[in-house]
């Protein structure tokens, strides 16, 4: 069994500068102020419409992300309806195969829940979790050996199973996502990947997300 930490990967190829220019041009149609487009005007314009709550304009931009997390977390993510999703399928992926390392991969419980593995209580909880993951892997392999298909054998796989979920959301929905999933009340493992992604978005798409990072921080 492999234990892996969660991760995020941005798959979109449109540059921040191109996104800014395109959304400014679209947004200025509302005010017929296209004549005010000039070098450096996009960020100021977009920051203003976000501040005024005119976020429908930024629905014209989208970002695609790959989450590498556990399957329990993906149940939280896919509740965001205004999005497109593609996910690693346990119906068709056979983890006995060599391309999966002939073992299952689980997302480390300790990082999302911030276990201190030098603490006796946290260590005991972690050891119970790890044993459960090893038992699940063993049961999965036994079912495959007995002739079960992957879609049968997946019934014994845990929520902690590593999965890859590709999500495309428009910029407005990403802002909504972060307001919910990066909040202190969010599920700890979902908040872990949401905060990871928000930090990256705030760095790479600052006019759209930096204010949320400041509010979250």
Active site residues: 181
Cβ neighbours around 215 below 10 Å, total = 11
What tokens does 77 get?
């993510």
Residues sharing a CB contact under 8 Å with residue 1, sequence separation 6 or more, in sequence order: 103, 104, 105, 106, 133, 134, 137
- Binning the chain into helix, strand and coil, the percentages to the nearest 5 are 55, 15, 30
* Residues 193, 163 contacting (CB under 8 angstroms): no
* Residues 88, 104 contacting (CB under 8 angstroms): no
Q: Closest by alpha carbon to 66, among 110, 12, 107?
A: 12
């Amino acid at each position: 069994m492999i234990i892996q930490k969660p991760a995020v990967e941005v798959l979109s190829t449109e540059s921040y500068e191109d996104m800014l220019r395109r959304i400014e041009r679209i947004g200025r149609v509302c005010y017929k102020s296209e004549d005010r487009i000039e070098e450096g005007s996009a960020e100021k314009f977009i920051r203003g419409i976000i501040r005024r709550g005119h976020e429908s304009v930024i629905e014209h931009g989208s970002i695609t992300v790959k989450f590498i997390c556990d399957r329990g977390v993906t149940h939280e993510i896919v509740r965001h309806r205004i999005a497109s999703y593609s996910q690693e399928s346990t119906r068709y992926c056979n983890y006995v195969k060599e391309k999966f390392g002939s073992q299952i991969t689980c997302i480390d419980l300790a990082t999302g829940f911030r276990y201190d593995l030098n603490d006796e209580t946290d260590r005991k909880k972690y050891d119970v979790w790890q044993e459960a993951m090893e038992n699940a892997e063993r049961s999965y392999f036994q079912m495959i050996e007995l002739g079960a298909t992957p879609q049968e054998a997946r019934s014994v796989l845990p929520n902690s199973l590593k999965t890859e979920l590709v999500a495309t959301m428009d910029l407005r929905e990403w802002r909504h996502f972060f307001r919910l999933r990066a909040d202190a009340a969010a599920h700890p493992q979902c908040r872990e990947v949401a905060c990871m992604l928000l930090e990256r978005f705030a760095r790479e798409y600052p006019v759209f997300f930096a204010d949320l990072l400041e509010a979250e921080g």
